[in-house]
Amino acid sequence: MKIVTEEFEELFKNYSFDMQDEESYMYEADPVVILKLYDPSSSQAWYVTRYNRDGKIAWGYITGSIEDNFAHFSVAELEEVYEYIEIEIVNKRLSECLK
């Protein structure tokens, strides 16, 4: 399934990161979630707060796995593995999304 589109990349123009820079975004207490990706057939969800278009790598809060946590993940891999993923534009703080 294609996740990364021009619209997707436009959403992250002010929320990108460079893997070589100091990763201060990793320590934000309550970051803004730009969009939510989720598998409607399971409890798996990715609350995306940053995106690196060069590597198709995202940073965000992942739920529905063994332990909910922040992590980098490959959007390209999600495109390959999942046949269908819902995409929801959020623009809210993570604490609001998890209520």
Question: What is the band of 86 on the pLDDT scale with cuts at 50, 70, 90?
Answer: very high
Question: What is the band of 3 on the pLDDT scale with cuts at 50, 70, 90?
Answer: very high
Is-contact 35 48, C-beta < 8 A?
yes
**Domain extents for the chain?**
6-18+31-93
The answer, as to whether pTM is greater than 0.75, is yes
Q: Where are the beta strands (DSSP E) in 1-99?
A: 32-38, 45-52, 57-63, 69-74, 86-93
The per-residue pLDDT for range 31-83, each reduced to its tens digit, is 999 999 999 988 899 999 999 999 999 999 999 988 899 999 999 999 999 88
Element (H, E) at 95: helix 94-97
Range with the poorest average pLDDT among 17-21, 23-27, 36-40, 86-90:
17-21
